[in-house]
Amino acid sequence: MTTPSHPHARLHERVKVMVPVRLEGQTGFTRDISVGGCYLQLDDIDLQDDEISFELDLGAAHRAMKVRCCGQVVRVDHMGYLTGIAIKIKGLQLLLK
């Protein structure tokens, strides 16, 4: 991890990856993920809280693997029929089946 050079610099490198996500009964995908957060894209959703829980489906080849995450909503973007949600991850739990 590097120290940011200005106040809006990112602390962690982002990886562009589409991973299925479930949030409040809806499904969508990640746009990118980093060690400290992620950006989700779902059908239009109205978030009421700034703390949320969601599941990422990391589907391993030999068995199902999900990660339950809780995080702080940093930003919500409404883009037509999609809602983008920038999240700072505060905790996670690995779920194996």
Query: What 3 state SS string does 4-68 have?
Result: CCCCCCCCCCCEECCCEEEECCEEEEEEEECCCEEEEEEECCCCCCCEEEEEEECCCCCCCEEEE
CATH of the domain at 30: 2.40.10.220
Within-domain flag for 10? no
Q: Per the structure, how many domains does the chain have?
A: 1
Range of the domain at 73: 15-96
Residues 69-96 have a mean pLDDT of 92
Within-domain flag for 9? no
pLDDT score for 54: 94
Residue 23 or residue 61, greater confidence:
23
- Mean per-residue pLDDT of the chain: 85
C-alpha to C-alpha distances, 64 to 58, 67, 72, nearest whole angstrom: 7, 10, 26
Q: How confident is the model at residue 30 (pLDDT cuts 50, 70, 90)?
A: very high
Tell me the β-bridge partners of 28.
21, 42
Interval 40-77: pLDDT, tens: 999 988 777 789 999 999 876 566 789 999 999 999 99
